Structure 1
Amino acid sequence: MNPRGSFSSSWASLHADDVCFEEWSIWAAQYKHTTTPEQMEEMFAAIAEQGITRVNVNVFTNGILYAESPVARIYNVTIGDDRLSWAVESARRHGLTLYAWMEYGQGVEHGSVPTNPFALSADANDWLLYNIRDGEKVYLSEEIPHGIIYMDPTLGEVGDFLAALSGDLSERYDVAGIQLDDHFGAFAGYDKLDAMSPEYKYSLMKSVAEKIRNSVHSNGKLFSYSPPRLGWCKPYLFVDWAKWYFQGVVDDLVPQYYRRDAELVRQDLEEDLPEVDSWEMGLLAGLRLTGSCCPEDTDPEEIASMIQIAHDFGLKGVSFWFVDAIMDGGFTSFLRRVEKYRPASLGDLISHQDIINTISRFVEEDRLPHLLFYGPPGSGKTSTILACARQLYPGKQFHSMVMELNASDDRGIDVVRNRILSFASTKTIFRSGLKLIILDEADAMTSDAQNALRRVIEKFTDNVRFCLICNYLSKIIPALQSRCTRFRFGPVSPDQMLPRLSHIIQEENVQITEGGVRAIMDLATGDMRKALNILQSCTMAFPEVDEDSVYTCVGAPTPSDISNLITWMLNESFSIALESILSVSMWPRERWSPSPLKLNITQTFNSTSDSEITVLKTSKGLALADILTQVHSYSHRIEFPARVRIQLLKKLSQIEEHVASGGNEKLQLSALVAAFQVNTTLALP
């Protein structure tokens, strides 16, 4: 049985709604796919194709360094191919952020001790941890069977070596930072360390980490740490990574939640949250796709749920273990197509050319004002400012110069006083110039938060620019509106949407009919995000996407349903029309086949109109709000007298308001039928 069979499905198996991360990361181990420059390039191209934005490439493992370093040679570290230089070139070509990952920074594989020069040298210097059992050295921990032997963190020379090597690599190579992983700690199971107090071991590991951080920071790079979950890390490694982050010991955290069950990941995050005073850290959740001492891959549906859970907890992103799932497993994508095909530059945007031209001039002339983007969902507001930000802050500068918040989640005054104020008031040591704060869905912010934000904008205008994004301009207080340059984004036109949708369909090799494309565009109503989400859902549910499958997947009434519904309301009696909409399941399909839209003003309304609408609603599970939307559109196609059309549209708006306010659906459905029948009597001669 193929152990990677679970990855043979299309990316749609990983559909996770409303997921927008700042970073999508992956680990690239030195097992294969990296042994030649050509393989490295192929791997990075595949990673970039999936929409991954960051790669952690392994450079120090089992006592072998895959990079050039004079420091490593001093300590008898075996120097392999300079794969880090290959990775730097490939990452630059594909626009990916790169971290040099030291997988076994504090240890080497046990089996390599007799032949590995670095292990032999460490053993000779008495750097290695061991227990004495029956008069013999035993290097492996009896409490944590991991097959790795570790250097003793209590020795100053060990910390000096790790700091010197990290500093050397961060200086010599164009990387965003250096990453240590879960093989870094004061491991339980060694007599020497077990005899020490937990407090001392916490202090000890913090001291070693600070040495590494200082060395990396001296070269303007970041110190990243990828530990186990906090509940395991504290008693077994004596590392409190949550405190480390808030104390500035580490810059970047990627805890490993390697589970095959999404609910266990949720439980892990819930257990870790009380240990963190506020979930303000830029944290990525490490998720296991394949490998890591487990013969079975994680089910794609579970990964999709984990991604959604990470988003729900407000994490900065996720990091996948590991790249073999892409290269070997046919695991074709991790991102929704909304994110995968989000425009990367201002030139990639497909609509609102006048706005794009104005923003481009602001960027080129280095005079970007505070911005306020408003308009309906899916019209390109967020894509525009993100493309602008990536043009202003290319590569690794983006993450230190841009803060992106979704104000619908983080909308209270405390967020303004803490997170936003802290970011706006500090200058980065890595780059001069203005920072950028993006507040998406700013219309969900409380009035107090908006007033506090006004004061922050006034005070720190020399250091930061704000971009507020909202759907409803009326919900932004005038004081904020007056401080921003406003741009209205209208719905994307069908002529603009169709080429981009066709391109994605071709790239993803989706089997779809012209009717299916037309149905998606009709339902999207100018919302590009909605169009891609509908396409995503349909390709997951149907081998070929046609008009019927689109409406079935979305749960919206088909054009023929609405055609019949309006015909019933116009030409049947009230009671029959209402019942039909609610309970047509007892009728054969032919009973509500498409009929021409025709107003028979000589009709006496005594046939079976009321019952036909009830069944249609019940059997197809249609929501009255969806029916109202489509009825409104179709009502404009009927040749009503002007006074009849005005009264009917007024009544439809009242019914829609009542439904949105939580009114009884059956009562409002009765009002809908009544509205048509009362107003059509006005059209009688």
Structure 2
Amino acid sequence: MSSTELWVEKYRPRSLDEIVDQEEIVKRLKEFVKTKSLPHLLFGGPPGTGKTTAALALAHDLYGENWRENTLELNASDERGIDVIRSRIKDYARTLPIGEIPFKLVILDEADNMTSDAQQALRRTMELFSRNTRFILIANYVSKIIEPIQSRCAVFRFQPLPKGSAIDRLKFIASKEGIKVDEEALDVIWEESQGDLRKAINTLQAASAIAKNVTAEVVYEALGKVRPKEVEEMIQSALKGDLLTSREKLRVLLYNYGLSGLDIVRYIHRDIFSLGKTIKPDNATMAELIALVAEANYRIVEGADDEIQLMALLSKLALYSQGKGSGGK
């Protein structure tokens, strides 16, 4: 295979047997393959949890070598209008399947991006062609799929892979590609991907293009993100009451690294509980600190100046560390 190929596609499971940590879902899907019969399906869950992979693996196991001739895969974020339902899907649904399976598959990815009118048209199409066509709808947010369609489908809810399984998969890919990955780098990839295995694999591939020995520093370079240590140094300077140093570090993050105010607020929010080691707040004070971060986030979203709002937040943290916050009045 080409070295430029996306690893997400290169190492995508081709069969239901290759899918891990979705045991209950795989078990139910295998029953459909065994009986050669299935209802309309709705796969829901966060990005990168294996929804599209499961749909394609199901098609592979059902049709074998004829899976491409019996499967129509569309991305509803690109083809989301009613015309697609009335023309392309209906034309495909009218044709007969190839092989012994008595129905064809229509895989509609990102179905939650379809317009309401298109979903209403799809509902009727699912009824008219249910004899020789099955639909697999894939959505990040099941709540955006209209109730009439949900009631016609068997719903499968995918969960993010646990950290151990995701890291095992990354190690497997690294070994196949002949690259070395530090444990710390794997932890950083996991933290940044937030359970999205697709994002984790893409991050690993991007980092491997920089260096064959992937370290945490290489991962941050590939992501184009600041190291958490630099944000921590800014916060620690504020907690020590050194607002001038804290302001300089803030400006480096804003102007040298090009981070937005919202990016920095998210870093602070993620690390807020580790601040307890320094200022040792009680629960009420910690709740107030979280509220301060939320207030800064709101003001920046509403259009306030990033640097001014972040300096105000750092100043309030300094007051709390010296016992002069609202809890110390």
2:127 counterpart (449, 453, 458): 458
Residue-by-residue CA offset, 1:284-340 (whole Å, 9 max, x unaligned): xxxxxxxxxxxxxxxxxxxxxxxxxxxxxxxxxxxxxxxxxxxxxxxx434200000
Aligned pairs (5 A) from 1:524-673: 524-572=193-241, 576=243, 608-639=245-276, 640-650=281-291, 652-653=293-294, 656=297, 664=303, 667-673=305-311
Residue-by-residue CA offset, 1:254-296 (whole Å, 9 max, x unaligned): xxxxxxxxxxxxxxxxxxxxxxxxxxxxxxxxxxxxxxxxxxx
**Counterpart of 1:609 in 2: which secondary structure?**
helix
Aligned pairs (5 A) from 1:483-494: 483-494=152-163
Residues 345, 657 of structure 1: CA spacing in aligned structure 2 closer, same or farther, 3 A cutoff? Answer: farther
**Counterpart of 1:436 in 2: which secondary structure?**
strand
Q: Distance in 2 between matches of 1:629 and 1:510?
A: 31
- Is residue 674 from structure 1 mapped to residue 312 from structure 2 by the alignment? yes
- Is residue 684 from structure 1 mapped to residue 325 from structure 2 by the alignment? no
Q: Post-superposition shift, 1:646?
A: 3.3
Q: 1:404 is matched with which residue?
A: 73
| Structure possessing the higher relative contact order (Cα contacts under 8 Å, 6 or more residues apart) | 2
- Is residue 422 from structure 1 mapped to residue 91 from structure 2 by the alignment? yes
Residues 476, 563 of structure 1: CA spacing in aligned structure 2 closer, same or farther, 3 A cutoff? Answer: same
The two structures, once aligned, show a CA RMSD in angstroms of 2.4
Aligned pairs (5 A) from 1:17-56: 50=1
1:369 counterpart (39, 62, 65): 39
Amino acid at match of 1:530: K
Residue-by-residue CA offset, 1:526-570 (whole Å, 9 max, x unaligned): 111111111111111234321111112201221202312332444
What's the % identity of the aligned pairs?
Answer: 37
Q: Post-superposition shift, 1:493?
A: 1.2
Residues 346, 471 of structure 1: CA spacing in aligned structure 2 closer, same or farther, 3 A cutoff? Answer: same
Q: Do 2:234 and 2:246's aligned partners in 1 also have CA atoms closer than 8 Å?
A: no
Aligned pairs (5 A) from 1:348-367: 348-367=18-37
Q: Do 2:36 and 2:62's aligned partners in 1 also have CA atoms closer than 8 Å?
A: no
Q: Distance in 1 between matches of 2:253 and 2:233?
A: 10
Q: 2:114 is matched with which residue?
A: 445
Q: Distance in 2 between matches of 1:673 and 1:419?
A: 55
Q: Post-superposition shift, 1:496?
A: 0.8
Amino acid at match of 1:565: M
Q: Any unmatched runs of 5+ in structure 2?
A: none
Q: Do 1:557 and 1:626's aligned partners in 2 also have CA atoms closer than 8 Å?
A: no
Q: Do 1:373 and 1:469's aligned partners in 2 also have CA atoms closer than 8 Å?
A: yes
Residues 417, 614 of structure 1: CA spacing in aligned structure 2 closer, same or farther, 3 A cutoff? Answer: same
Q: Distance in 1 between matches of 2:297 and 2:89?
A: 38
Q: Distance in 1 between matches of 2:114 and 2:299?
A: 25
Residues 669, 364 of structure 1: CA spacing in aligned structure 2 closer, same or farther, 3 A cutoff? Answer: farther
Q: Post-superposition shift, 1:472?
A: 1.7
Residue-by-residue CA offset, 1:189-225 (whole Å, 9 max, x unaligned): xxxxxxxxxxxxxxxxxxxxxxxxxxxxxxxxxxxxx
Q: Post-superposition shift, 1:522?
A: 1.8
Q: 1:327 is matched with which residue?
A: none
Q: Post-superposition shift, 1:401?
A: 0.9
Q: Post-superposition shift, 1:455?
A: 1.0
Amino acid at match of 1:628: V
Amino acid at match of 1:614: R
Q: 1:381 is matched with which residue?
A: 51
Q: Distance in 2 between matches of 1:521 and 1:450?
A: 35
Q: Distance in 2 between matches of 1:480 and 1:496?
A: 33
**Counterpart of 2:275 in 1: which secondary structure?**
coil
Q: Post-superposition shift, 1:477?
A: 1.7
Q: Post-superposition shift, 1:495?
A: 0.9
Q: Do 2:97 and 2:103's aligned partners in 1 also have CA atoms closer than 8 Å?
A: no
Q: Distance in 2 between matches of 1:367 and 1:651?
A: 55
**Counterpart of 1:437 in 2: which secondary structure?**
strand
Q: 1:128 is matched with which residue?
A: none
**Counterpart of 1:376 in 2: which secondary structure?**
coil
Amino acid at match of 1:411: R
Q: Do 1:438 and 1:467's aligned partners in 2 also have CA atoms closer than 8 Å?
A: yes
Q: 1:276 is matched with which residue?
A: none
Q: Do 2:260 and 2:306's aligned partners in 1 also have CA atoms closer than 8 Å?
A: no
Amino acid at match of 1:626: D
Q: 1:478 is matched with which residue?
A: 147
Q: Distance in 1 between matches of 2:56 and 2:283?
A: 46
Q: 1:31 is matched with which residue?
A: none
Q: Distance in 2 between matches of 1:658 and 1:439?
A: 39
Q: Post-superposition shift, 1:428?
A: 3.0
Q: 2:168 is matched with which residue?
A: 499
Q: Do 2:44 and 2:51's aligned partners in 1 also have CA atoms closer than 8 Å?
A: yes
Residues 441, 368 of structure 1: CA spacing in aligned structure 2 closer, same or farther, 3 A cutoff? Answer: same
Q: Do 2:69 and 2:98's aligned partners in 1 also have CA atoms closer than 8 Å?
A: no
Q: Distance in 2 between matches of 1:425 and 1:651?
A: 59
Q: Do 2:185 and 2:216's aligned partners in 1 also have CA atoms closer than 8 Å?
A: yes
Q: Distance in 1 between matches of 2:298 and 2:202?
A: 27
Q: Post-superposition shift, 1:374?
A: 1.5
- TM-score calculated relative to the size of structure 2: 0.88
Q: Distance in 2 between matches of 1:432 and 1:347?
A: 20
**Counterpart of 2:274 in 1: which secondary structure?**
coil
Residues 650, 464 of structure 1: CA spacing in aligned structure 2 closer, same or farther, 3 A cutoff? Answer: farther
Q: Distance in 2 between matches of 1:378 and 1:411?
A: 21
Q: Distance in 2 between matches of 1:651 and 1:448?
A: 43
